[in-house]
């Protein structure tokens, strides 16, 4: 570790204002709450103790992406009513506030939580209630009165490239209405309906729905199947982020940018993996260089999730092998995120500490990375309001950093 990066302490990382632009609500429950809610709702878990759940489900490492995703069956099962969704969102907000995160974009797929007769908009209302309560409480705290930036948040609605019918009443209804339609068409129809619901929730209910996302298995389920949904979001000024390059290559990222007008890319890990590019591309190396330059030049921010990538791609091995090193060398706009706080046993501070230690971030690189998160957020409000907010954050960041350097 370089001398400058060694000066960046965990205490400093905790004190600096941070963002998390890529965090899944259903992957970020408090484990104690999951166990308690499962008991209340009659959901059978592999274990009723935290140690048991960590041994059997939420492991330090996973063999592959399917094993990583297995725990979501349990988390989603306890997120089927208003009260549970509100509680989980509230606790997630405070978990972020308590480690200095001052802006978070919470994402989830409402279709997976439409239990107890709740509509998509009902799910969004419940989640927003928890986040809003935490924000109000923090606004009245001594920290904010003392000059710290307050807590802000946005909601990102996730469409799914594909999903299991057992998880979604919406999917089952579509199958009944369109029995002869191919599955890819049904997935696309579900995404379009979700985009419409997201815009209604923002425009008619006043909810801070700030973005539209596409998640799920990349290989075999291309982004362009969901063009209609993303065109609707685009036409209604709803910003777009797309999971791409998490488990597939640069072509998936290109598809997200060109077909779905993505403003940001979730993960992007395999941008620098030309071996995953298909035979239709004559020169994979040149393709990768051109795409990297395009993303860097257009300042399309990559939502980097180090621990999650290590867990779902065991072949990476050491943290230092993560493609964040290449992103930094290419001067790309990146922001450090958690993905799933419970499933990956991580926090924003943990992820930043990994980056500082393994990629020898300088104070300037750390500052740029943190500020990118605020600048490239889908902040709810006008551009003028966002600029004023970011300016306040930058001033606070610089004051905190100067105080630590003076010690």
Q: Is the pLDDT confidence value at 195 over 50?
A: yes
Residues serving a catalytic function are: 246
Q: Which residue segments constitute the domains of the chain, with CATH numbers given?
A: 3-405 (3.20.20.140)
Q: What is the 3-state secondary structure (H, E, C) of the chain?
A: CCHHHHCCCHHHHHHCCEEEEEEEHHHCCCHHHHHHHHHHHCCCCCCCCHHHHHHHCCCCCCCCHHHHHCCHHHHHHCCCCHHHHHHHHHHHHHHHHCCCEEEEEEEECHHHHCCCCCCHHHHHHHHHHHHHHHHHHHHCCHHHHCCCCCCEEEEEEEEECCCCHHHCHHHHHHHHHCCCCCHHHHHHHHHHHHHHHHHHHHHHHCCCEEEEEEECCCCCCCHHHHHHHHHHHHHCCCEEEEEECCCCCHHHHHHHHHHHCCCEEEECHHHHCHHHCCCCCCCHHHHHHHHHHHHHHCCCEEEECHHHHHHHCHHHCCHHHCCHHHHHHCCCCEEECCECCCCCCCCHHHHHHHHHHHHCCCHHHHHHHHHHHHHCCCCCCCHHHHHHHHHHHHHHHHHHHHHHHCC
Task: Return the residue matching tokens 């290559």.
Answer: 249
- Looking at residue 406, what is its pLDDT? 87
pLDDT of 314: 87
**Burial per residue of 315-335, b for 16 or more beta-carbon CB atoms within 10 angstroms, e otherwise:** ebeebeebbbbebbebebbbb
Q: What six digits make up the tokens of 95?
A: 């978990």
Average confidence score pLDDT of the chain: 91
Q: Mean pLDDT throughout 235-256?
A: 93
pLDDT exceeds cutoff 60 at 383: yes
194, pLDDT greater than 90: yes
- 170-191 pLDDT, tens digit per residue, is 455 545 655 665 555 778 888 9
pLDDT at residue 166, rounded to an integer:
46
Residue 244, strand partner residues:
267
> What's the average model confidence in pLDDT over 315-344?
96
- End-to-end CA gap in the chain: 21
Mean pLDDT for the stretch of residues 126-134: 98
pLDDT tens-digit map of 152-163: 999 999 999 886
- How far, CA to CA in Å, does 59 sit from each of 23, 75, 343? 18, 15, 8
pLDDT number for residue 170: 46
């Amino acid at each position: 570790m370089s001398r400058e990066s060694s000066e960046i302490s965990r205490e400093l990382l905790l004190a600096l204002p941070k963002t998390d632009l890529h965090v899944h609500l259903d992957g970020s429950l408090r484990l104690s709450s999951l166990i308690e809610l499962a008991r209340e709702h009659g959901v059978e878990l592999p274990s009723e103790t935290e140690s048991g759940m960590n041994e059997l489900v939420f492991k330090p490492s996973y063999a592959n992406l399917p094993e990583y995703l297995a725990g979501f069956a349990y988390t989603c099962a306890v997120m089927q009513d208003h009260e549970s969704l509100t509680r989980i969102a509230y606790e997630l907000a405070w978990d972020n506030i308590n480690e200095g995160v001052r802006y978070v974009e919470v994402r989830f797929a409402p279709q997976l939580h439409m239990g107890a007769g709740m509509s998509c908009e009902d799910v969004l209302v419940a989640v927003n209630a928890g986040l809003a309560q935490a924000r109000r409480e923090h606004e009245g705290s001594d920290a904010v009165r003392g000059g710290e930036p307050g807590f802000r948040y946005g909601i990102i609605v996730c469409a799914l490239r594909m999903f299991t019918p057992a998880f979604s009443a919406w999917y089952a209804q579509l199958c009944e209405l369109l029995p002869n339609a191919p599955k890819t068409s049904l997935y696309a129809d579900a995404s379009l309906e979700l985009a419409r619901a997201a815009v209604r929730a923002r425009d008619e209910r006043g909810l801070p729905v700030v973005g539209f996302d596409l998640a799920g298995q990349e290989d075999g389920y291309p982004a362009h199947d969901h063009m209609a949904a993303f065109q609707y979001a685009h036409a209604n000024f709803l910003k777009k982020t797309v999971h791409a390059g998490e488990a597939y290559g640069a072509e998936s990222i290109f598809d997200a940018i060109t077909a779905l007008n993505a403003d940001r890319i979730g993960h992007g890990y395999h941008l620098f993996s030309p071996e995953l590019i298909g035979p239709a591309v004559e020169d994979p190396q040149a393709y990768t260089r051109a795409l990297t330059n395009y993303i860097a030049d257009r300042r399309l921010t990559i939502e980097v999730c180090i621990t999650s990538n290590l867990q779902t791609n065991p072949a990476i091995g050491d943290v230092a092998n993560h493609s964040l090193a290449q992103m930094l060398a290419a001067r790309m706009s990146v922001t450090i995120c958690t993905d799933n706080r419970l499933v990956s046993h991580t926090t924003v501070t943990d992820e930043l500490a990994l980056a500082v230690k393994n990629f020898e971030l300088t104070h300037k690189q750390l500052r740029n990375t943190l500020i990118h998160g605020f600048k490239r957020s889908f902040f709810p409000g006008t551009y003028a309001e966002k600029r004023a907010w970011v300016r306040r954050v930058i001033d606070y960041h610089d004051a905190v950093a100067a105080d630590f350097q003076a010690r």
